[in-house]
A and B are shown apart, each in its own frame.
Chain A
Amino acid sequence: MSENLTANEIIDAVAALTAERLTTYIEIGIIMPIQGEAGPLFAPVDCARLQLICELEQSHELADEALEMVMSLVDQLHSARADLQALGAAVDAQPVAVREQVLAAWRARRGG
């Protein structure tokens, strides 16, 4: 069956999380639960993400707006990283001559 957690289950799973904070995170859009029949459900990615959010909030005393901004930057970081890795893999799959050209063009721009 599904390994998604209900709201109560995820509050148990993430030690620092309260029901009130979870509601706020959903309202400001940094947590997007799956809409289940009996209410919102949380995937493993949400669980890991909530750990991070709680840690940032507590260690750096971030207000909601600051938290929103930090999570937006975190998401951009991970997306850019994924895109770069995908690009690397796509270049790797090319013939040697093409790869050398891409590398040369890269170096010309980035001074590598």
Chain B
Amino acid sequence: MSRDPYEVLGVTRTATAEEIKKAYRKIVRTSHPDLNPDDAGAQARFIEATAAHDLLKDPDLRARYDKGEIDASGAERQAERPFYRDYAQQPGNPYQSSRGFEGFVSSDIFEEILRQRGQGSARSAHFNAPGPDRRYQLELDFLEAALGTQKRITLPDGQSLDVRIPTGTADGQTIRLRGKGGEGLGEGPDGDALVTLSVRPHKLFRREGNDILLTLPISLDEAILGGKVEAPTIDGPVSLSIPKGASSGQVLRLRGRGVQRPGQTPRGDQRVELRIVSPPEMDESLRSFMESWRETHAYDPRREMMS
């Protein structure tokens, strides 16, 4: 079963074409197996993202998917395609750069050894070497990253890995889990698991450093008369005082309602940008009041722009 293409690209359902392209570019850079040949999970991530992008970049296909007319399948279509990394290191690949070691290795004998490209590795139990690191990617909801959580990754071999997500985790951050990577050789320690986190955008909140940003719609009467309204925060709704005569664009600060990063005090704030929303219907009483009000109280908020 194919995953939701929006989820695969880490964008919201209302994402613009530009946001979708940007998200896909990021995945090409971090997950194209030919650009990340040592990343075991790259191929699967790239194929999935390419299928998701193929669907969402086409406005017609995207609209049909949104309406539920088609599903997200088609991800398997690419499974048989060749990747350059599978050929890149074969002997006789004409694209290998031949300048190799000039000026990089000073010893002639060593250079000779370097040039003997051994096939396979004759590893011995007496040889000690640390195990290789393994890389994984994990996607988090905005709130999971902001508030911290515990996640479990299922590995390709069926085992699972528990990852503690600290509060205030940022998009692109990597968590290192000691000893959860490949097995060491001989007495060598096991490698680490490196889990790169990507954070899905939230439909209301955005994040800037430790601060949470929110745009809050208020009514015309709330703007003029002020009053208490409920505002969502990452911990749930809180009461917010709107000052009398508030304007759109005005920013109110809810202290300590932002993100807490470990070892960093204090907690960030939530910044609430007000946006005045006119009533859905202009009734006669409002219109006649405004007309008479304007005759005696007219003001020009654009005066300074014109001077």
Q: Which residues of A contact B (CB under 8 A)?
A: 32, 44-45, 47-49, 51-52, 55-56, 59-60, 71-72, 74-79, 81-83, 85-90, 92-93, 96, 99-100, 103, 112
CA distance A85 to B116 in the complex (A): 10
| Cβ-defined contact, A83 with B101, below 8 A | yes
Q: Does B122 contact A (CB under 8 A)?
A: yes
User: Given the known A-B contacts A55-B32, A78-B88, A81-B89, are A44 and B121 also in contact in the complex, defined by CB atoms under 8 Å?
Assistant: no
Cβ of B294 within 8 Å of any chain A Cβ, yes or no, is no
13 contacts between A and B (CB under 8 A): A44-B82, A49-B87, A51-B84, A55-B32, A75-B96, A75-B97, A78-B93, A79-B96, A79-B100, A85-B118, A86-B115, A92-B127, A103-B129
Residues of B within 8 A of A (CB): 21, 24-25, 28, 32, 34-35, 37-38, 50, 53, 81-90, 93-97, 100-101, 113-124, 126-130
Of B28, B82, B93, B96, which is within 8 A of A47 by CB? Answer: B82
- Closest chain B CB from A84 CB (angstroms): 9
* Interchain CB contact under 8 A, A32 and B121: no
Chain B neighbourhood of A81, CB < 8 A: 37-38, 88-89
Chain B positions within 8 Å of A77 at CB level? 35, 37
Q: Which residue of A lies closest to B123 (CB)?
A: A92
Going nearest first, the 10 A-B pairs with the smallest beta carbon separation are A89-B118, A86-B117, A78-B88, A48-B82, A45-B87, A82-B89, A48-B84, A79-B97, A59-B28, A79-B96
A60 to B127, CA, bound (A): 44
Residues A89 and B28 in contact in the complex (CB < 8 Å), given A44-B87, A78-B96: no
Given the known interface contacts A51-B83, A90-B116, the answer about A85 and B89 at a Cβ–Cβ threshold of 8 Å is yes
Q: List B contacts of A85 (CB < 8 A).
A: 89, 117-118
Contact present for A59 and B24 (CB under 8 Å)? yes
Q: How far is the CB of A5 from chain B (nearest CB, A)?
A: 12
Contacts A45-B90, A78-B85, A96-B126 known; A52 to B32 CB distance under 8 Å?
A: yes
In the complex, A81 Cα to B119 Cα: how many Å? 14
The smallest beta-carbon distance between A72 and chain B, in angstroms, is: 8
